[in-house]
């Protein structure tokens, strides 16, 4: 598959050929389940001219269906473009197909989608990760030049690691959430999933920037990073030693190779510790579910999608929500409603907000001494379908990705190699708020030093 950088140099006829080939390839790899529908069903005419980019099914394209992988949104057609889509169109990129995801971006395996599962291109018995599993599988299988995903607690970085792609979660507010199906508004962020670090920088430059329609969008001019990428800049990189030690042997082995590569590229490695990651999980699942319970209250069966007609409005509301949402989504709405209820608000929600400040302070302390942080993306390589039936076990697969969202910081997942079964393993670099330039410089240097 050609890279985004190469595609940007191609004339219109060559791009048309690439789009036609892609459609054939996608049809041939249908069993992978990376896209939620056959592209021929889509009214792509208006968008058909640019470089094709795959979009997660929670990013709106005017006139297209968009369902966040849920039954409750079947039949819903987006009335306007997400800001990222308008930005893409302005730069000669075009939306090309909706990719599969965990319902409402809640999950780590893409097993909870209304459309069924997506397979890991490296091993069909294994999950592609989630919730942006369709986007990562499409890039890894060579049926997308690049894709967009969203990351609330790891949903770009974790599937990128499981599929062997690069996944960038930008600083909170750098990429507008306007037109993104909301899960947890203070954590959600759109970002690129690509074949390499340079493409991630290029796509990030295209989608980033201030959006006046979005009050959470950072009010600053975007400074391009791709044209200034410098893999030769020497940095101090803090390795989180306790995370390294507690990861599985296969992840530790690849992380140690990553550390060696960073050293050989001239970076200085220092070792630091984080508090127990179990506090990150507890904090995240209180805040994320609280926000989700508020965000998802709009799917009431009256204004959105999938109506269950009944004479009584109340009946319609109950029917629509109980039939329209899947198990995991319902569990989280219940949990979120519980932690926000009077009597429990102080004990859970307020406490989680305090813990969130503490987690942020912990990052700030390390950034007093280091330019970047390096740690695993996941405790293991991709797991098998059905192996994490207990929701709490599934939640534990995010232990290294969620603190970043709580702190609002940018992070990138870079492939470090494969385990003995041929499954990819990723390493995560973390930067300071709005420090995407240093982050991508470090990621490029790691990618080059590993020479994969
Ligand atoms: N796996 C985490 C969750 O289920 C993160 C998901 C995400 O980043 N959207 O909430």
pLDDT in tens, 347-380: 999 999 999 999 999 999 999 999 999 999 999 9
The residue whose CB lies within 8 Å of the most ligand 1 atoms, and thus the one to mutate among 154, 170, 408, is: 154
pLDDT value of residue 305: 56
CA dist 203 and 50 (Å) reads 14
Q: What SS3 class is residue 63?
A: coil
pLDDT value of residue 355: 96
- In the reported structure, the alpha carbon of residue 45 is separated from the centroid of ligand 1 by a whole-number distance in angstroms of 33
The residue whose CB lies within 8 Å of the most ligand 1 atoms, and thus the one to mutate among 130, 328, 330, is: 130
- In the reported structure, the alpha carbon of residue 186 is separated from the centroid of ligand 1 by a whole-number distance in angstroms of 13
- In the reported structure, the alpha carbon of residue 366 is separated from the centroid of ligand 1 by a whole-number distance in angstroms of 25
- In the reported structure, the alpha carbon of residue 153 is separated from the centroid of ligand 1 by a whole-number distance in angstroms of 5
Q: What SS3 class is residue 52?
A: strand
CA dist 187 and 182 (Å) reads 10
Which structural domains are found in the chain, ordered by start? Answer: 4-228 (3.90.1300.10)
- The DSSP annotation for 359-378 comes to HHHHHHHHHTT-SEEEEES-
The residue whose CB lies within 8 Å of the most ligand 1 atoms, and thus the one to mutate among 56, 102, 152, 335, is: 152
Q: Point out the ligand 1 atom lying closest to the alpha carbon of residue 152.
A: 8
- The DSSP annotation for 125-166 comes to TB---SSSHHHHHHHHTTS-S-EEEE-SSSTTHHHHHHHT-E
CA dist 422 and 280 (Å) reads 30
Hey, which residues are catalytic here?
A: 56, 131, 155
pLDDT value of residue 210: 98
Closest CA to 139 of 90, 99, 86: 99
pLDDT value of residue 102: 98
By alpha-carbon position, which residue is closest to atom 5 of ligand 1?
153
Ligand 1: which residues within 6 Å by Cβ?
105-108, 131, 151-155, 183, 288, 398
Q: Is 420 exposed, middle or buried (0-12, 13-18, 19+ CB in 10 A)?
A: exposed
Q: Point out the ligand 1 atom lying closest to the alpha carbon of residue 108.
A: 1
Residue ranges of the chain whose pLDDT lies below 70:
38-46, 305-310
User: Using the 8-state DSSP alphabet, how is residue 47 labeled?
Assistant: G
CA dist 405 and 188 (Å) reads 8
Q: What is the pLDDT of residues 161-186, one digit of tens each?
A: 999 999 999 999 999 999 999 999 99
- In the reported structure, the alpha carbon of residue 434 is separated from the centroid of ligand 1 by a whole-number distance in angstroms of 22
pLDDT value of residue 301: 72
- pTM of the shown model: 0.96
pLDDT value of residue 204: 98
């Amino acid at each position: 598959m050609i890279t985004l950088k190469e595609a940007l140099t191609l004339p219109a006829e060559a791009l048309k050929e690439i789009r036609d080939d892609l459609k054939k390839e996608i049809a041939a790899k249908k069993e992978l389940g990376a896209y939620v529908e056959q592209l021929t069903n889509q009214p792509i005419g208006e968008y058909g001219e640019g470089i094709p980019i795959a979009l997660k099914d929670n990013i709106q394209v005017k006139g297209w269906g968009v369902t966040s992988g849920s039954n409750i949104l079947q039949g819903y057609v987006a009335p306007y473009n997400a800001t990222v889509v308008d930005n893409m169109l302005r730069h000669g990129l075009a939306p090309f197909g909706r990719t599969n995801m965990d319902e409402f971006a809640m999950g780590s395996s893409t097993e909870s989608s209304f459309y069924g599962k997506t397979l890991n291109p490296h091993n069909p018995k294994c999950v592609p990760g989630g919730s942006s599993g369709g986007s990562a599988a499409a890039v890894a299988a060579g049926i997308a030049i690049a894709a967009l995903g969203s990351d609330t607690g790891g949903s770009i970085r974790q599937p990128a690691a499981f599929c062997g792609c690069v996944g960038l979660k930008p600083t909170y507010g750098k990429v507008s959430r306007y037109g993104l199906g909301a899960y947890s508004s203070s954590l959600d962020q759109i970002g690129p999933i690509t074949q390499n670090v340079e493409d991630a920088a290029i796509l990030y430059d295209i989608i980033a920037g201030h959006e006046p329609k979005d009050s959470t969008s950072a009010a600053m001019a975007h400074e391009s990073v791709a044209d200034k990428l410098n893999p030769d800049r020497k940095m101090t990189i803090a390795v989180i030693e306790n995370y390294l030690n507690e990861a599985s042997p296969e992840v530790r082995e690849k992380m140690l190779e990553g550390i060696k590569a960073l050293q050989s590229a001239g970076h200085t490695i220092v070792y630091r510790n984080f508090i127990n990651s179990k506090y990150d999980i507890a904090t995240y699942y209180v805040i994320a579910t609280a926000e989700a319970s508020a965000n998802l209250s709009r799917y009431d069966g009256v204004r959105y999608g999938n109506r269950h007609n009944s004479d009584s409005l109340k009946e319609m509301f109950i029917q629509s929500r109980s039939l329209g949402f899947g198990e995991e989504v319902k569990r989280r709405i219940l949990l979120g409603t519980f932690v926000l209820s009077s009597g429990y608000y102080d004990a859970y929600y307020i406490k989680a907000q305090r813990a969130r400040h503490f987690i942020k302070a912990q990052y700030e302390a390390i950034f007093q001494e280091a330019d970047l942080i390096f740690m695993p993306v996941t405790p293991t390589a991709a797991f098998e379908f059905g192996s994490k039936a207990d929701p709490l076990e599934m939640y534990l697969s995010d232990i290294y990705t969620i603190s970043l969202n709580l702190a609002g910081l940018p992070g990138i997942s870079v492939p470090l190699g494969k385990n003995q079964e041929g499954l990819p393993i990723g390493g995560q670099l973390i930067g300071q708020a709005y420090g995407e330039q240093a982050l991508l410089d470090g990621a490029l240097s790691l990618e080059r030093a590993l020479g994969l």
